[in-house]
Structure 1
């Protein structure tokens, strides 16, 4: 018999109502977006009549999740950055020199005196005063090697030590380079994400491309140059012992030292030790504040390891200057007045309030492990996004209208049921997109348009099977029941293969391709649900009410 149990009817109607309820905020997009922004502002402590008025724009008990608009619909900035992984090699070699120096100095009687030699950025060269003992010195340095911390580098050491005449040469092993490259790009990816999240942009796309490139797309931001200012600064904060102060940029720094310019004092340079005492990696917090003269500054706090290093150094070097270096420039070089326990302090300089706030954001998000080279940058204006939305609307409406007319002319009353299910189908797609917080792009709109065309395929299969069953002189109830049963396997086969394609596109693709895959995959799920369950429920309810002796499909 042609019938559907009561609990199934309630479940089907309930899912349809829930989907439409979740999709409803998108019909009032600007109002709900303003409401959400006001709630976010209140969460950060902001208040005022304007914010209070904005929180009244949408009922609190209603869903407020929206489909996020992608870069091509909202406008925004697009960047493709290449991570300069070679910078990390140089930093590793620089940080390794104090360890090598201390080790060989302890064995001075065995290997003689040592001196750091000029070398390439990715190697460390140390000259030994007794050339005949360079092999023993190399063996001592090999003892500093550590296992590579990666699956592909299992069993390998992180450094390779060789000799070149009277010099010990230290380089990173190939396994360590590969592990370092992967780790550096992952760190850069995470720090870029944190920096953009600090600014509060909506649904940015931040993805790794290839081995050393990162794709960054941020909807709603003014320009690519503005985005570069947010993420392009390395914000590498380090604290160095000061050797001396000079006005000569070309002065000899000496082995293990470097000359850095001062930001505050034009024409002033500081000779500092290359190896920092504490680095920004050990910062756990940074906040904009004011110094004792009420000038903008940045207060900071180290983790326990950094606090211990910072405290020990300040206790042992009272009366000595201490350089605070940001991205290769000395922003402050205060004299240590007393022991500074607790690992907290304040950075002063010629900051504006905005500059101190931005610096605090960058330091709090963390330092980029390496510099970025921007290979591609593009700004998409909101006008172009509005044009894309309008074009998408027109395409959707035309496709929608064409399918509605075709189904009605082809299948009459049953075509009307299919059209109602199609309308529900589009609503359910937007409901699911809102529920998972998906980002809708222009290819995503193309996926919805394609779904509209595909959504009636299942109904066409069912209706054609019903037509065939009616020709065998079966009653209308039996024909409808057999039509759905015999069409089910064909419907599932066709949609499962398409859904697998959508999954592969999502897994292998990026950016717009993923947007298309998401809407296509969700559209397949909703169209199968509406075709198998919703249209069948409508036909059963119509049949129970009218009890026709014959039907025409």
Structure 2
């Protein structure tokens, strides 16, 4: 029978649109002005902190909707923006430096929608407001660290090969190793050439001193810089994600810069804390023979200070840096004491194994290194950074360590969780500094949304009126499909994790509206042509849809390929436009081909009709 769908097809269309409608619904509830409180450096939030926040808000007569503990953060929902700012100022003053207080916008989605995983569209910086940072990676520091690592590797490798040297030192051109005789030098040079093929080696002799100088090739230098940039991007993204303040955008710009955008966060100072203060981690052995309270420190060692102010003397040689850590979790040992389980990559596991083989029973320290701007400028206009170091943990080595080991001796479960967070987030390969920052207010985003919605509404009204007048009842069918198309776009965008709606994304929706109607126009015009040629109503409908299908598919597939290319090579807003366009194309093909056909078949299919209202 012509123009009759089986029941399952009707149910499929209804179910698809119903699911998209369900996940699009949270966008109707809007957002509450909110203040978010989290512990500095990712420490756990206690219930006592929640009680303290409530007490301070009640004491100052701050009107709030709710105060809750969510994902290790205290979230305070306020009644308006004025109360939000007042609450933020009070909490910053009362909680001190140990907590991060940031302004935010919290979705007002009902619990029954949250239970099925439904949430509102994530809005980009241009729509929601927030903070924008441009970070610059200190590539010179990355090269210095690579040379220091090369120096340590030379010492370790030559000792293992039993090639005795008199000195291993850094110079302006790289690393120089000195030997007592030419024979040992030649053996060492041959060994280093085999193990380090990406280094340039030169031997020399001067006043009875035989030496080998190692210098990195241009390709190796470029590789180090690229690795530093990519690794820093990954680590910064991990830090922002694990602290869970906002849906971030973290991407590279040029050869040494990183763009970080945090939509919804209006507090620049709080956002800086969230980025992690450009820190690195190092593991060093404790010099147990040195007196930490003496003013004299043995050669090869250095005095540090723990978080509680106690002095400790550590060996200068670094066992491992944090960029070799692949995983870290907190747990309890067999005596119910807090510990952190560490997983390393293969290279890090080899280094740890060699370093701890003869160090069983001694202590190992985890050093937290932070680079902070001094306010002064270098000759090339960049900010000078001050290096601050503190020991965050000292633990006893109980056995030779490999790719997996544990850190014990922690004071509490909170300290273990904090340390695991720092290790998981990773250590920046090179310090970064903020060269540009700006706050985009929510009022500008609100204006962009209003302008985008106005364009969408006016476009829809014009199309609805035209279709209703020109195609009559079939025009009304097209208008129903158009409404379903928009619901599907918003619903699918809300379901996709990480998808963000930007101003170009709204432009993609407006463009899709026109494309969706275009498909219906092709079908309706084809039906008209079939009717003019004397076909029956049922034959005209059947032929109209079948004959127009190839044209619609060709037009939409070519546009979809364009969207895929834009997504592949574009960045930021271009990707947002491409995603919205691709989803819109898929939704428009579904509604214009299957959706309208289902309605037409239901109303006119398999019936004796002499005339169509088209």
TM-score interval, smaller chain: 0.7 to 0.9
Equivalent in the alignment of 2:551: 490
Equivalent in the alignment of 1:503: 564
Q: How far did residue 419 of structure 1 move?
A: 0.9
Quickly say closer, same or farther: Cα 1:462–1:279, change in 2 above 3 A: closer
TM-score normalised according to structure 1 size: 0.76
Q: How far did residue 180 of structure 1 move?
A: 3.7
Q: Distance in 2 between matches of 1:102 and 1:141?
A: 12
For each residue in 1:133-156, what CA deviation from the matched residue of structure 2 results, as whole angstroms up to 9, or x when unmatched? 7444423433543xxxxxxxxxxx
Q: Distance in 2 between matches of 1:60 and 1:317?
A: 51
Contact 1:235 1:363 in 2 (8 A): no
- Partner of 1:222: helix, strand, or coil? coil
Equivalent in the alignment of 1:409: 469
Aligned partner of 2:259 among 196, 199, 215: 215
- Partner of 2:444: helix, strand, or coil? helix
- Partner of 1:20: helix, strand, or coil? helix
Please identify which structure carries the higher helix content. Answer: 1
Aligned partner of 1:440 among 468, 487, 501: 501
Q: How many residues align?
A: 512
Contact 1:73 1:384 in 2 (8 A): yes
Q: Does 1:119 align with 2:161?
A: no
Q: How far did residue 423 of structure 1 move?
A: 0.7
For each residue in 1:466-505, what CA deviation from the matched residue of structure 2 results, as whole angstroms up to 9, or x when unmatched? 2222222333332222222222222112111111111111
Q: Distance in 1 between matches of 2:575 and 2:222?
A: 28
RMSD: 4.6
Equivalent in the alignment of 2:125: 71
Q: Does 1:538 align with 2:599?
A: yes
The residue correspondences of 1:139-158 to structure 2 (distance < 5 A) are: 139-145=190-196, 157-158=197-198
Equivalent in the alignment of 1:190: 234
Contact 1:74 1:219 in 2 (8 A): yes
Contact 2:302 2:314 in 1 (8 A): yes
Contact 1:441 1:512 in 2 (8 A): yes
Contact 1:239 1:325 in 2 (8 A): no
Equivalent in the alignment of 1:234: 279
Q: Distance in 1 between matches of 2:122 and 2:392?
A: 47
Q: How far did residue 71 of structure 1 move?
A: 1.8
Please identify which structure carries the higher strand content. Answer: 2
Aligned partner of 1:331 among 383, 387, 390: 390
Quickly say closer, same or farther: Cα 1:107–1:399, change in 2 above 3 A: closer
Q: How far did residue 5 of structure 1 move?
A: 2.4
Q: How far did residue 261 of structure 1 move?
A: 7.7
Equivalent in the alignment of 2:380: none
Aligned partner of 1:204 among 237, 248, 273: 248
- Range moving further from structure 2, 376-385 or 257-266: 257-266
For each residue in 1:332-360, what CA deviation from the matched residue of structure 2 results, as whole angstroms up to 9, or x when unmatched? 49999x87667525689xxxxx9999776
- Partner of 1:275: helix, strand, or coil? strand
Contact 2:368 2:389 in 1 (8 A): yes
Q: Distance in 1 between matches of 2:463 and 2:366?
A: 71
For each residue in 1:54-110, what CA deviation from the matched residue of structure 2 results, as whole angstroms up to 9, or x when unmatched? 9964356655233211222222222333444443433233233344335656899x8
Equivalent in the alignment of 1:169: 213
Aligned partner of 1:461 among 512, 515, 522: 522
Equivalent in the alignment of 1:96: 150
Quickly say closer, same or farther: Cα 1:411–1:97, change in 2 above 3 A: same
Q: Distance in 2 between matches of 1:77 and 1:315?
A: 48
TM-score normalised according to structure 2 size: 0.70
Q: Does 1:514 align with 2:556?
A: no
Q: How far did residue 45 of structure 1 move?
A: 9.9
Contact 2:118 2:495 in 1 (8 A): no
Quickly say closer, same or farther: Cα 1:403–1:377, change in 2 above 3 A: same
Equivalent in the alignment of 2:319: 277
